[in-house]
């Protein structure tokens, strides 16, 4: 299918595909087994200008948009969702600075993020604030010229590996979500340390750990925008990033589909290759339908975001939900087509099915996405009346 990509988008796709095939596929099983952060691959992505795709040119990036980033994410995910998660979480952590930071903050942080010198992580989730993001307890209290941070962030992707952290904390506890603010915290700041490192079902080539703030003092200039803006910054960040999670779903599903298709052509049972059986053909056809539909949707939503639309939360949630739900279906069916072989670690679909599950959970569960969509539908109906 022709998605009418620009020459530059085709270049990004081809470069990401090359990196995926040459650098990621040969080591993905080992990274998964060893639960190892893909430092060398991230360095290679940085050298190939892939870390600054979405960052404006004036701050050292390529000045491209969400679609360009989605294309890169999709290709990396086709090879390994763990690597793609480390890559995409970098953008998630950068958006608060890029979308809401002051000129000074952008000049200070974005060039080193675009070049890959500094990696980034986004810290919103806490032990008792997952889906209920407004329920965070980490505090930031102004004391003279510094904010003092206290609290623990949980399940933070790129935790420990990142250099820059965008953190949501309460500056006014009494106001709940409306009292949240966003901050930039640099690794090495006194009072900022790392806690439990998680052992996960999938995406094992990405790190997930706790961030601990114990009287961590940061300059007051490190607040992003102003006090009370933190929840909106987090929501807008997620709105922008969720199309990328959809792209991850498309990429993983595509990778699993290709494995199942090639296996079905080579596997002989009852004297025939199993692809000659209609039961298998229909499963493969259904996979192809779902992937093409999800890709069309993700690209359309990414283009909608790039058009400068002000409110993209419903559309991003739709793309994220659809593409990640079909990813779970497709990876499960890929294992089924391959039967016993699919269940073995020797073949990559076993990992792909394990990896796929997180996509229905992170950056907002698909149940929360359905709430977001439903709330938008209700608002639209009220407006029309
Ligand atoms: N853009 C702009 N503003 C938004 C917004 C968005 N996408 N979503 C919410 N807001 C605003 C609301 O308009 C409301 O503003 P007012 O206080 O002025 O009325 C405020 O934020 C609070 O919104 P709401 O009442 O809807 O908040 P809830 O506490 O009910 O929670 C959900 C909303 C569930 C959508 C939110 O908590 C969420 O997204 N949860 C999932 C979090 C997530 O993705 N976690 C993954 C970890 S980060 S990788």
Domain locations in the chain? 7-119, 121-230, 234-384
pLDDT tens sequence across 337-382: 999 999 999 999 999 999 999 999 999 999 999 999 999 999 998 8
List the beta bridge partners of residue 143: 146
List the beta bridge partners of residue 218: 147
Task: Tell how far the Cα of 144 is from the centroid of ligand 1, in angstroms.
Answer: 31
Residue 133 Cβ inside 6 Å of ligand 1? The answer reads yes
Candidates 89, 177, 236, 242: which one to mutate for ligand 1, based on the most atoms within 8 Å of Cβ? 177
Contact present, 32 and 204 (Cβ < 8 Å): yes
Task: Give the CATH fold of the 234-384 domain.
Answer: Butyryl-CoA Dehydrogenase, subunit A; domain 3 (1.20.140)
Q: pTM score > 0.85 for this model?
A: yes
Nearest CA owner, ligand 1 atom 47: 363
Residue 238 Cβ inside 6 Å of ligand 1? The answer reads yes
Residue 232 Cβ inside 6 Å of ligand 1? The answer reads yes
Q: What CATH number labels 121-230?
A: 2.40.110.10
Q: Which of 74, 161, 350, 363 is catalytic?
A: 363
Q: What is the pLDDT of residue 382?
A: 81
Candidates 99, 121, 134: which one to mutate for ligand 1, based on the most atoms within 8 Å of Cβ? 134
Provide the 3-class DSSP secondary structure of residue 357.
helix
Nearest CA owner, ligand 1 atom 11: 232
Provide the 3-class DSSP secondary structure of residue 208.
strand
Contact present, 153 and 168 (Cβ < 8 Å): no
57 is catalytic: no
Residue 364 Cβ inside 6 Å of ligand 1? The answer reads yes
Candidates 120, 133, 318: which one to mutate for ligand 1, based on the most atoms within 8 Å of Cβ? 133
Distances (CA, A) of 59 to 3, 56, 278, 379: 29, 6, 54, 37
pLDDT tens sequence across 232-272: 999 999 999 999 999 999 999 999 999 999 999 999 999 99
Residue 178 Cβ inside 6 Å of ligand 1? The answer reads yes
The architecture (CATH level 2) of 7-119 comes to Orthogonal Bundle (1.10)
Task: Tell how far the Cα of 195 is from the centroid of ligand 1, in angstroms.
Answer: 27
Q: What is the pLDDT along the chain (385 residues), one digit of tens a residue?
A: 899 999 999 999 999 999 999 999 999 999 999 999 999 999 999 999 999 999 999 999 999 999 999 999 999 999 999 999 999 999 999 999 999 999 999 999 999 999 999 999 999 999 999 999 999 999 999 999 999 999 999 999 999 999 999 999 999 999 999 999 999 999 999 999 999 999 999 999 999 999 999 999 999 999 999 999 999 999 999 999 999 999 999 999 999 999 999 999 999 999 999 999 999 999 999 999 999 999 999 999 999 999 999 999 999 999 999 999 999 999 999 999 999 999 999 999 999 999 999 999 999 999 999 999 999 999 998 877 7
Q: What is the pLDDT of residue 339?
A: 98
Provide the 3-class DSSP secondary structure of residue 131.
coil
Detail the DSSP E strand segments found in 233-284: 268-269, 272-273
């Amino acid at each position: 299918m022709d998605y009418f990509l620009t020459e530059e988008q085709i270049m990004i796709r081809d470069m990401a595909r090359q990196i995926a095939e040459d650098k990621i596929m040969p080591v993905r099983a080992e990274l998964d087994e060893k639960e190892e952060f893909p430092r060398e691959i991230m360095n290679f992505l940085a050298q190939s200008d892939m870390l600054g795709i979405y960052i404006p040119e004036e701050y050292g990036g390529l000045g491209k948009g969400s679609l360009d980033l989605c294309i890169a994410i999709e290709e990396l995910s086709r090879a390994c969702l763990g690597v793609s998660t480390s890559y995409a979480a970098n953008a998630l952590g950068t958006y608060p600075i890029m979308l809401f930071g002051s000129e000074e903050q952008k000049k200070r942080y974005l060039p080193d993020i675009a070049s890959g010198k500094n990696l980034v992580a986004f810290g919103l989730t806490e032990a008792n604030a997952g889906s209920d993001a407004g329920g965070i307890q980490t505090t930031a209290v102004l004391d003279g010229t510094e904010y003092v941070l206290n609290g623990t962030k949980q399940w933070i992707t790129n935790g420990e590996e990142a250099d820059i952290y965008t953190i949501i904390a309460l500056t006014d506890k009494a106001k709940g979500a409306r009292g949240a603010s966003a901050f930039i915290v640099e690794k090495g700041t006194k009072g900022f340390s790392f806690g439990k490192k998680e052992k996960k079902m999938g995406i094992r080539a990405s790190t997930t750990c706790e961030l601990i703030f114990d009287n961590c003092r940061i300059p007051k200039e490190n607040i992003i925008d102003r006090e009370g803006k933190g929840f909106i910054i987090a929501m807008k960040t997620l709105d922008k990033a969720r199309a990328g999670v959809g792209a991850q779903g498309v990429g993983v599903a595509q990778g699993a589909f290709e494995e199942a298709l090639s296996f079905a052509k080579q596997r002989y049972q009852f004297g025939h290759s199993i692809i000659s059986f209609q039961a298998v053909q229909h499963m493969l056809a259904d996979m192809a339908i779902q992937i093409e539909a999800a890709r069309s949707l993700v690209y359309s939503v990414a283009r909608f975001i790039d058009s400068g639309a002000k409110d993209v939360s419903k559309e991003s949630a739709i793309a994220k939900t659809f593409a990640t739900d079909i990813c779970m279906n497709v990876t499960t069916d890929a294992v089924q087509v391959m039967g016993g072989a699919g269940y073995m670690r020797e073949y990559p679909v076993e990992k792909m099915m394990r990896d796929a599950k997180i996509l229905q959970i992170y950056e907002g569960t698909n149940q929360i996405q359905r709430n977001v969509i439903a709330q938008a539908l209700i608002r639209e109906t009220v407006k029309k009346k």
